[in-house]
Structure 1
Amino acid sequence: MRDLNSDLNWYVILNSTSDCNPQNEFYQRNGTRVHQIWKGTPYAEWNDLMPLIAQVDREHEFLSWALESQDDWGMLVGSKHDLEDVLAHFRSLTQVWVPSDTHAFFRFYDPDFGIRIARYCNDSQRAELMGPTCEWVSKGQRVINLFPADTVQEKEFPWWNVPKEVMDRYTLEDKTTFITNCIKWLKENHADLYFYFPQRTIEAKVEHLVRRYTKTKNMTINEYIFQALSLEVYR
């Protein structure tokens, strides 16, 4: 990560749901104050899931740790804008519209999801998603916005629509990653169902449901998982 563009301001976005506890690692490596991205939203008290942002320089020692850490610690963001503008843009991405005409949390803070979604977009879609940011970087992954926004006006979420072709490509490319993301979605959105079972059991159940799911069921995969588990838990 030493090849970071010196003309940009750099920020770390920390994934609080990661098992590697990136916030703690950041503070242990001379990290300064972090800011809660969901502050000012209805999810301001969701501290266990709260994505965090802090400004860093290109030589910050935390970045060396990030190179060796788990893939889901978070990501680096490069922008010509200040912290306030960058934070406002990511706060506006708290939730997005998905192809089933429902809205869901957008896990930009998990690079295996956020960066890949950005990478699968075309230039126009990517510019809309990345807004005032120029680069999203994480372990072994980088995506560049060719047309970063010059000005920032925070939009009320959900405003961004995940393109159907982007979500389809993401879903088909990596079933294992998709299963992991479905488990994370269940934990974040339906904790009653997630914690009803032992961890290994719920993971196995979600994997089974994902592999059984077909688009002919006339519902999204998340709706299918929710329905199946609800019938089992609350029957």
Structure 2
Amino acid sequence: MITTQQWLETVPDNLTIYVLLGSISVAKPVTTYFKKTNQVNLTALWQETPYANWFEAMPYIAPVPRDSKYFDWVNQTKAKDWGWLAASPYEPETIQQHFKSLTKVLMPDGMDVFFRYWDGKYLFPILDYLNQKQQASQVIPVFSHYLINQQVLEVSLSPNLLEPSAYPWWKVEQELLNKLTEQNPTSLINNLMQWLKEDNSALFYQYPEPTVKSKVTYFVENYEYNAETVANQLLDYLTQKEI
């Protein structure tokens, strides 16, 4: 665990420091950014997608100077889902295009879900796993240094940046999903709730959302399921039992 200042000392001077912010965090990192920096230089990462007007959930990125007052808030906040810091040799427009390509990703069963990359407590174990397999730069090829919830990660980037693919192109490995679920089933629960809402809206809206979520949570925590077909197994469970 290190401070922002300690991390900055390890980042080469020729790299630009970026802050990536998640709008849905209760810590209100976007509002705080405006107050601390007096800047309006945020780039919306879902622009040019069907979600370009979903401002209440929009992730943003912005370059920040190394003496930014925003770092004081980063060091002090207790929130783990506000966003994170990273360093890159690339311009914001290039970074935006690559994160646009990660708007959604594919689960092992083919279900496409939003990639909550702005949530540091969710992203760090993913990047750590991928980095151990030398795959982190294949998924996010624009950042070489990360500071996520006071945890440091360095990634070797390819000298040749490929053009971003249309989403969803990245398929999450079953092994990675298993590790994430073992550590914290919240991600799987949230993904299944999203899948129900988008693909089985009649069932999702038939009951109060807290009731549906309690059933999904019970299923994930108590039933044996095949991770590759978990969505269909959940649907069978919900339709066979009275919610």
Please indicate, yes or no, whether the TM-score normalized by the shorter chain is above 0.5.
Answer: yes
Q: Which whole-Å CA distance do the structure 2 matches of 1:27 and 1:189 have between them?
A: 35
Post-superposition shift, 1:188?
8.6
Provide the residue aligned with 2:71 in structure 1: 63
Larger radius of gyration: 2
Post-superposition shift, 1:108?
0.8
Post-superposition shift, 1:185?
6.0
Q: Find the partner of 1:11 among 13, 18, 41.
A: 18
Post-superposition shift, 1:169?
1.4
User: Is 1:215 matched with 2:222?
Assistant: no
User: Is 1:102 matched with 2:111?
Assistant: yes
Q: Root-mean-square deviation (CA), in Å?
A: 2.8
Q: Report the AA paired with residue 60 of structure 2.
A: L
Q: Deviations over 1:21-78 (max 9, x none)?
A: 1111111101432121111011112222111111112221112212222011011121
Provide the residue aligned with 1:48 in structure 2: 56
Residue pair 1:72, 1:111 contacting (<8 A) in 2 also? yes
Residue pair 2:21, 2:29 contacting (<8 A) in 1 also? yes
Going from structure 1 to structure 2, the CA distance change for 1:28 and 1:99 (only over 3 Å counts) comes to: same
Instruction: Give the structure-1-normalised TM-score.
Output: 0.83
Residue pair 2:121, 2:149 contacting (<8 A) in 1 also? no
- Between the aligned residues of both structures, percent identity stands at 24
Q: Which whole-Å CA distance do the structure 2 matches of 1:53 and 1:17 have between them?
A: 14
Q: Deviations over 1:118-164 (max 9, x none)?
A: 11113432120121211232212222212345324121111112222
Aligned positions of 1:121-200 closer than 5 A: 121=130, 122-172=132-182, 174=183, 177-179=184-186, 182-183=189-190, 186=193, 190=197, 193=204, 196-197=207-208, 199=210
Q: Find the partner of 1:37 among 39, 45, 48.
A: 45
Q: Which whole-Å CA distance do the structure 2 matches of 1:128 and 1:12 have between them?
A: 21
Residue pair 2:113, 2:191 contacting (<8 A) in 1 also? no
Going from structure 1 to structure 2, the CA distance change for 1:54 and 1:45 (only over 3 Å counts) comes to: same
- Aligned residue for 1:219, secondary structure, equals helix
Post-superposition shift, 1:194?
7.7
- Could you list the runs of 5+ residues in structure 1 that have no partner in the other structure? none
Going from structure 1 to structure 2, the CA distance change for 1:184 and 1:171 (only over 3 Å counts) comes to: closer
- Aligned residue for 1:209, secondary structure, equals helix
Question: Which aligned segments of 4 or more residues in structure 1 are displaced greater than 4 angstroms?
Answer: 222-233
Instruction: Give the structure-2-normalised TM-score.
Output: 0.81
Figure out how many residues of one structure are paired with residues of the other and give that number.
229
Q: Which whole-Å CA distance do the structure 1 matches of 2:109 and 2:174 have between them?
A: 9
